[in-house]
């Protein structure tokens, strides 16, 4: 009986360790997104996405549009690479189911002058987690 309990505990520990490892890998991809967009590191930002990812966002003109990762990283071209641009990001939630994941990230501007919630779908491909889709909504109360 003790052998069975030992085997069960060992397998349970391995399963938890594996889940924690997957969580850390998803978190790394999200941090690449956050750090790339906060420090104008276009290569790091783009590395978080698959090339054909879909980003559904409301543009500055108010129109809801679909963007590619290249178009999205272009939003950060004017900033100096490596210099903090005021965007602060924080991972709020991650849920992993086998080789897919959902994540929620809060992105806030300087002094929380604006706040967005970003929702991501991620997929594990070639042993690496990548963002396959993103959408966002503004949750603060902008002055009119």
Give the integer Cα–Cα distance in Å for 55 and 70.
10
Determine, yes or no, domain membership for 112. yes
Give me the phi and psi of 7, to 5 degrees please.
-60, -45
Inform me whether the pLDDT recorded for 132 exceeds 70.
Answer: yes
3-state secondary structure 26-86: HHHHHHHHHHHHHCCCHHHHHHCEEEEEEEEEECCCCCEEEECHHHHHHHHCCCCCCCCCC
Tens digits of per-residue pLDDT, 92-115? 999 999 999 999 999 999 989 999
Q: Count of domains in the chain?
A: 1
Determine, yes or no, domain membership for 110. yes
Determine, yes or no, domain membership for 144. no
Tens digits of per-residue pLDDT, 66-75? 999 999 999 9
Can you give the CATH number for the domain in which 96 is found?
A: 3.10.450.50
Inform me whether the pLDDT recorded for 2 exceeds 80.
Answer: no
Determine, yes or no, domain membership for 32. yes
What percentage of the chain exceeds 70 in pLDDT?
84
Determine, yes or no, domain membership for 41. yes
Tens digits of per-residue pLDDT, 15-62? 555 556 999 999 999 999 999 999 999 999 999 999 999 999 988 788
CA 62 to chain centre: 23
Q: Is residue 115 a contact partner of residue 40, using CB atoms and an 8 Å limit?
A: no
**What is the span of the domain harbouring residue 47?**
2-138
């Amino acid at each position: 009986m003790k052998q069975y309990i030992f085997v069960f505990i060992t397998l349970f520990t391995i399963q938890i360790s594996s889940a924690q490892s997957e969580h850390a890998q998803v978190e790394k991809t999200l941090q690449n997104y956050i750090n790339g967009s906060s420090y104008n590191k276009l290569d790091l930002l783009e590395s978080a996405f698959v090339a054909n990812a879909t980003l559904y966002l409301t543009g500055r003109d108010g129109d809801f549009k679909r963007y590619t990762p290249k178009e999205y990283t272009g939003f950060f071209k004017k900033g100096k690479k490596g210099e903090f641009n005021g965007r602060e990001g924080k991972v709020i939630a991650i849920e992993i189911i086998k080789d897919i994941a959902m994540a929620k990230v809060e992105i806030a501007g300087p002094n929380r002058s604006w706040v967005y919630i970003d929702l991501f779908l991620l997929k594990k491909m070639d042993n690496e987690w990548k963002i396959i889709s993103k959408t966002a909504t503004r949750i603060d109360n902008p002055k009119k």
